[in-house]
Each structure stands twice: as C-alpha cells, then as structure tokens.
Amino acid sequence: MKAKKRVLSGIRATGRLHLGNYLGAIKGMLALQADPDYETLYMVADAHALTTPYNVAELRQNRREVIIDYLAAGLDPQKSIIFLQADVIEHFELAFYFSSVTTIAKMQHLPTFKDKVKQHPHHNSMALLNYPVLMAADILIYHATDVPVGVDQKPHLEVAREIARKMNATYGTDFPEPKMFATKGEHVPSLKGKGKMSKSVAGSYINLTDDLATIKKRLADAPTDSGQGEKLPSSGGVANLLTLVELFQGSQQRQKYEAQYLSTGLRYDQLKAKLAQAIYQELKPIQSKRAQLEAQPAYVDKVIASGAQKARQLAQQTVKDVKTKLGLG
C-alpha cells in the first residue's frame, strides 16, 4: 500500500471563527479529510496566540471553542487527528532547532511580521518574530506535504519550505517542502470594503455562530454606492459584496447582479437580504451541531485527549531523529 500523504493545518485561538476561516481553511481541511489518499492532522494553534497581546481567561476558553467549531463544521476525530498545539510540546523543541537555521533579517522582512508590529507597536516580541518558525515546526514535525490555509499564509509556507531545504542540506533530514492547498474562498474579503475578513478587525467579519438577524445587521453596515455605473468596481465594498455573492450563491447570481449594475441599477437592500439568507443556510447545520456538542463536554475532552496522544507519538519520532542528526543524541 502506498504511504498516505500527510496534511496539517491550524487556526490561531484568538477569537471566534468567521467565514474567512471557514472558506479559506476549514473547507480545505474537510476536502482533504474526505480524501482517502491523505492522513489529516488538524490543530488549534493556541501557542501562536501568545505572539500578540491576549487575555489568559479568553485564551483558555478560545482554544476549546475552536475545537468545538472544528467538530461542528465536520472535522471528524474518526478520520482526523484533532488536537491542541500546546499539548504537543515537541513542536516547541523542534521550533528551537529550526531557529538555528533561520536568520533574524529574514523574519523581520516578512509582511506578516511587519503588519503585526504595526498593529501592536509595543509587542514586537521574540515570539512574534519566531511565529513562522513555530509554524514550520507544526507542519514539518509530521512531514506534512499539504497545508489547507488562506492565501495570507503563503509567506509563512515559503519559510517552512526554506527551513526544510536548509535542514535537509545541512543535517541530512528528510523534510518534504509543504505546499498550500487552496480553496475557492482562499481570500474572503472584509465587510468593510478593504482588506480581508479578520477576527482582529471589528466590523470585517461574520462569525460561524451568527444568527440570521446578526448576519443581516453586519451586512447592513457594509459600505455600498449608488448601485449603478458604467464600470464594475474592482475593489471596495461593492466588489467585496459581489465576491461574497459568488462564494455563497454562485457565479451566475453574481453575473446577474453585475448586469443590473451596468444597466437598470442594483438594489443593495435586496442583494443583502438574499445574501444573508444564503450565508445563514450554510451556517445553520454547523450551529445545530455546535449546540449538541456544547451539551457534551466530556466528549469534547475525550477528543482533545486522544488527539494529543496520537499527535505526540508521531511528533516524538521526528524530534528524536532530528536531535540525533544535530549532534544532540
């Protein structure tokens, strides 16, 4: 039997999940979980939450909430190893070894690092600088080849590939160069008209747990224009709304709206009402599964414990091998 290819992905435990996380990351995770050619590992990147200012009680809750979101969205512990990053301390050990083949200059120049420093000028910590190195360890510790993430994570994957190459060339390890597994929603735009939907930007997102009224309210606040013009806007609020229409109602519906924009004019109240319905239809089953899971805390505990045990076993083998190759064992 051919060895299965490994997949690893994670989402930071920094808040409630939104449509960007769902379409950009979770949909890809689900597709690969369903593919028998792959062995899938999905973690909550709880330690990565320490790279930006955070609240201890909230992190404690969020790491568990993301596990529940994963299960509610269809990640299945019978098919995937589902775990918390901090439960597998080998990730941190490997990250330290990887930091010995990574330069500070390279990390300082990453756009993701610069953005975060801009957001939190007083928190440019070593942990933040080391973010991509820990992420490389998350992936390479399982020799994962495919990583379902949104397009914003591409620079981080490039770092992981470079670390794999350097480690292999210098120490004779056998790390594969992981690649991004893209979905149709690899870039879900912000509701505010600029940038991507993100947990850290208020007003930019729709959460997976939002009810219809909340979705409507959030869409109502999204900026629009007069609804008519000679040219379709290529960026901004209207362009972003049309992208969401395409993602949730299909490209035909988008084309219909585009034609209206160029002729008789678009009614945004109607567009937003229909879009809200379509989004809610997709979220409803996830929300009912979530309600069931919330009533079964012991089951969630069991998933977390068993995931940690399975992941640790695999991670320990890699770290043992790397230690020997580095001259530490």
Count CB neighbours of 62 within 10 A. 23
203: left (phi over 0), alpha (psi -120 to 50) or beta: left
Q: Does 185 bind ligand ADP (CB under 6 A)?
A: yes
Nearest to 279 by CA among 229, 220, 231, 216: 216
Torsions phi, psi of 195, nearest 5? 80, -165
Number of residues counted as binding ligand ADP (CB under 6 A): 21
Indicate the residue among 97 and 268 with the shorter CB distance to ligand TRP.
Answer: 97
Q: Which residue is nearest to ligand ADP (CB)?
A: 24
Binding track, positions 130-169, relative to ligand TRP; x by CB under 6 A: -----x--xx-------x-x---x--x-------------
Does 26 sit near ligand TRP (CB under 6 A)?
Answer: no
Which of 7, 24, 139, 237: binder of ligand ADP (CB under 6 A)?
Answer: 24
Q: Give the DSSP letter of residue 318.
A: H
Which residues partner with 189 through β-bridges? Answer: 196
CA 141 to chain CA mean position, Å: 19
Asked whether the beta carbons of 48 and 12 are under 8 A apart, the reply is yes
CB of 103 to ligand TRP, least distance (A): 20
- Number of Cβ within a 10 Å radius of residue 127: 15
45 touches ligand TRP by CB under 6 A: yes
Q: How far apart are CA 135 and CA 145, in angstroms?
A: 14
Amino acid at 89: I
Nearest to 282 by CA among 218, 212, 186: 212
We find the least distance from the C-beta atom of residue 188 to ligand ADP, in angstroms, to be: 3
Q: Near ligand ADP by CB under 6 A, which window of 90-98, 137-145, 190-198, 295-303? A: 190-198
Question: By the 8 A CB rule, do 112 and 130 touch?
Answer: no
23 is a site residue for ligand TRP (CB under 6 A): no
Query: C-alpha 93: how far from its chain's center?
Result: 23
20 binds, among ligand ADP, ligand TRP, none (CB under 5 to 8 A by kind): ligand ADP
Q: What residues between 146 and 165 interact with ligand ADP by CB under 6 A?
A: 149-150, 152-153
Q: How far is the CB of 262 from ligand TRP (least distance, A)?
A: 37
Query: Per CB under 6 A, which region of 17-25, 66-74, 108-116, 162-170 contacts ligand ADP?
Result: 17-25
Rounded-to-integer distance, Cα 169 and Cα 118, Å = 35
Per rule CB under 6 A, is residue 187 in the interface with ligand ADP? yes
> How would you list the strands of the sheet with 5-12, edge to edge?
80-84, 38-45, 5-12, 146-148, 179-181
Q: 155 or 265, CB closer to ligand ADP?
A: 155
Chain positions 2 to 21 lying near ligand TRP, rule: CB under 6 A, are 8-12
Residue with tokens 């899938």: 40
The rounded distance, in Å, linking the Cα atoms of 280 and 302 is 30
**Interface characters, 238-267, with ligand ADP (x: CB under 6 A):** ------------------------------
Is 199 one of the binding residues for ligand ADP (CB under 6 A)? yes
Q: Footprint of ligand ADP on this chain (CB under 6 A)?
A: 11-12, 14, 20-21, 23-25, 149-150, 152-153, 185-188, 196-200
Q: Footprint of ligand TRP on this chain (CB under 6 A)?
A: 8-12, 45, 48, 135, 138-139, 147, 149, 153, 156
